[in-house]
Amino acid sequence: MGFLISQILGTVLSNFIISRKINHAYAELFPLKAYSLTKEDKKRLIQSTVGGMGQKIGSIVVNNTNNLFIASFVSLSVTGIYSSYMMIITGLSVVISQFVNAITATIGHRVVDNNKKRMIELFDRHQFLTLGIAFISAEALINLTTPFVKVWLGSEFALDSLSVYLIAVNYFINIVRLSFLSFIQAMGLFKMSGLKSIFEAVINLIGCLVALVIFKSGINGLLFVTLVINLLLNVFSESYIVYKYGIHAEMPKKFLVKFICVVGYLVGCGMLISYISELLFNGQNIDTFLLRCVFTLFCSVILYMPITAHSDNLKYFFNYFRKNLLMRKEREEA
């Protein structure tokens, strides 16, 4: 209770300090006493706030109820094992989220420019970058999480392969979704995404209960339900919201089908890398694990190339990083 209360007080205090600092630094831009919002502005603000709350509530319900379900309908020991895996997943997700969310301000500038062509171009590049990060890191989770847990905690704390694949694919989808969510946030499309999130939470709760109570499918049934909802509801609806209400462009045909194909390719590559890794690095020590890390990273990058070989975004990022390296080299020589 003390820890939770300190979190709440810390958040409130930091928000208060930031608000005071912003009001002081930009006092000429915010004449708060002399300005009042119009009815239309208030309406939009309330809708965005309620939508944002709905998005957060839906996300919390979906991502934080699995432990309760597993403890209630499977076993407490499996909950502990699952939590060990999720600790790794959560840590990696937080790092990647910070990197992806840092680009949100740039998206906001493009929204202000109101250039449809540049918005579509930026969205494609953002998706390309997020997909690459998600693919390589998900392959690492598929092939390295269980060996790491075995070295860290022991073989008795390892999940079966199917559970690991389901966890990794859900992680992959959630990382790719960061691209959609960044644009939804930058464009202020909280109303539609908030309603979707509440609906998602309700469907997820019902689906998990059906999988656990009626089909008694255990942790894999729980993860499979979340995977299906992520694919059929989140990926499709969030991309549709961005295209329809944000960019005001037609959503690419067979978008969801292509995404499912990428997920299938991810799983196939994971099985291939895992099979070869078991033959080459079948051991439970630090040295073997480090060799497996290098091998998995190398194979993940190579296997990701066929997806991006035809993309203009690959050339763009290659030229972008090369240009920045040359500029840095010239500055150092100067």
* Residue 6 lies inside a defined structural domain of this protein: no
Instruction: Render each residue's pLDDT in the chain as its tens digit; 334 residues.
Output: 998 899 999 999 999 999 999 888 888 776 656 667 788 888 888 888 888 888 888 777 777 788 889 999 999 899 999 988 998 998 899 889 888 877 776 777 777 777 778 888 888 888 998 999 999 999 999 999 999 998 888 888 999 999 999 999 999 999 999 999 888 888 888 888 888 888 888 999 999 999 999 999 999 999 999 999 989 889 999 999 999 988 888 898 889 999 999 999 999 999 999 999 999 987 778 889 999 999 999 999 999 988 887 778 878 777 877 777 777 777 777 6
Q: Indicate the number of domains in the chain.
A: 1
C-alpha to C-alpha distances, 309 to 118, 265, 304, 312, nearest whole angstrom: 22, 15, 9, 8
* Residue 181 lies inside a defined structural domain of this protein: yes
Domain that holds residue 46: 23-319
Burial class of residue 203, CB neighbours in 10 A (0-12, 13-18, 19+): middle
User: Is 207 in contact with 153 (CB distance < 8 Å)?
Assistant: no
User: Is 78 in contact with 219 (CB distance < 8 Å)?
Assistant: yes
* Residue 166 lies inside a defined structural domain of this protein: yes
User: Is 163 in contact with 294 (CB distance < 8 Å)?
Assistant: no
* Residue 186 lies inside a defined structural domain of this protein: yes
* Residue 326 lies inside a defined structural domain of this protein: no
* pLDDT in the model for residue 177: 92
* pLDDT in the model for residue 32: 59
* Residue 9 lies inside a defined structural domain of this protein: no
pTM comes to: 0.87
Neighbours of 115 (CB within 10 A): 12
* Residue 327 lies inside a defined structural domain of this protein: no
